[in-house]
Amino acid sequence: MTASKILLLVIDGLGDRPCACLGGKTPLQAAQIPNLDELARTGVCGIMDPIAPGIRAGSDTSHLSLLGYPPQQCYTGRGPLEAVGCGIKMEPGMIGFRANYATLDAAGNVIDRRAGRISDTTEISAAIRGGVDLSRYGITIGFEPGTDHRAALAFKGKGLSAAVSSNDPNTTGIPPRTVHPEGENTPEAKFTAEVCNEFCRQAAEILENHPVNLARKAAGLNPANAVLVRGAGAMGVYESFEKKYELSGSVVAATALVAGIGSSVGLRHVPIRQDTSFAEQIALVISEFQTQDFVLFNIKSADEYGHDGKALEKKKFLEMIDKDLRPFMEMPGLMIAVCGDHSTPCTLKEHSADPVPLIIRGDGARIDNVSAYDEISCASGALCRIRGGDLMPVLLDLIDKTHKYGA
């Protein structure tokens, strides 16, 4: 029997390096993960460079690569992808930005770049979206909240450029920076920088005495009284995933970025609430296979533990998600690929270029001798070492959806 559907399960920031607190093992090596180990025993394994050897992949460029969209050709910046993931309808030529709420003190200095990790910005985001007026520039905006303190901004109009800086000082104790042109000092870049600065000025005025912030101050919490923008990019044009691969597909992801990437290539976005349990997320994925041929399922928190240097918590998280994977393993006709989008070593607290472990398991996959899922065991697998851009062609061949090259 040949598998007919593909699950691409991406554990964000999965790869790691030896951790002293785990006896010199990586979190994957130290974790008790019987289901992932069984997938390794019953599938074919290898290691994968999301972009290429030695390249530290971002979550954006790596997911594009895994889906078969070469970031060297397709990537135009994180901002527009984040905007799509937050629900802004992005059109070619629009400029998108990542944004987050911050707290300024009375002197105008940033004292908290995450505004006390404010959890609900729906109301203040609506106030900005409805209150900022850039009509004198001929610009309309899209502004939507993301997860926690995050948001996304988009500009639509003539004469725009993505060649502008951020106003985020990346530290505290100083004011937000003034947005300025980057690279070539073109009229379009100057114009866009001016628009950005005016947006930030008006947004700060709206936020200063907004009821949400007055209530936060009364409760002794940091107000969300400024917007920091970064990651400018022009919205690109992406070939439809369904046209490219002759497969229908969905993306199930809590992060706006991954949802935006999936939506940008035409995958159906299945939103996940912050309080959606992992078992519920798996049920959502399984229900998508009733109508879809392909599902990209992104699991986020391992990456956050890597950035925070919390090796034990990363290990425990991997053990937690492993317990709920059995329903995927029992689905007939499913080709399962399990990997990371990049490594986030706890010792580094940042992305590294270390390759990630990869499993492909399903009818037709050649089973090798790997018996455990981790960075070292998978390196001896029959897939050897591949690049992220190789993954979709391999999966398509295994479900008999590839076309012969040549006569």
Q: Could you read off the pLDDT of 33-84 as tens digits, one per residue?
A: 999 999 999 999 999 999 999 999 999 999 999 999 999 999 989 999 999 9
Q: Would you state the pLDDT for residue 226?
A: 98
Q: Would you state the pLDDT for residue 184?
A: 76
Residue intervals of the chain classified under CATH 3.40.720.10 are 5-73+238-398
DSSP states along 116-176: GG-S--HHHHHHHHHH---GGGT-EEEEEE-STTEEEEEEESSS--S-B-----SSSSSPP
Residue 19 phi, psi dihedral angles, 5° rounding: -120, 130
Strands 110-112 and 384-387: unpaired
Q: Would you state the pLDDT for residue 364?
A: 92
Alpha-helix residue ranges (DSSP H) falling in 219-350: 241-245, 256-264, 278-288, 301-308, 311-322, 326-329
- For the stretch 317-340, pLDDT in tens is 999 999 999 999 999 999 999 999
**Exposed/middle/buried for 108, CB within 10 Å: 0-12, 13-18, 19+?**
exposed
Q: Would you state the pLDDT for residue 271?
A: 87
Q: Would you state the pLDDT for residue 193?
A: 97
When the candidates are 3.30.420.40, 3.40.50.620, 3.40.720.10, 3.30.70.2860, the CATH number that belongs to 5-73+238-398 is 3.40.720.10
Q: Would you state the pLDDT for residue 171?
A: 94
Residues in the chain, pLDDT under 70:
none
> What is the rounded CA–CA span in Å between residue 40 and residue 28?
13
**pTM (predicted TM-score):** 0.91
Q: Which tokens hold the place of 117? A: 């990790």
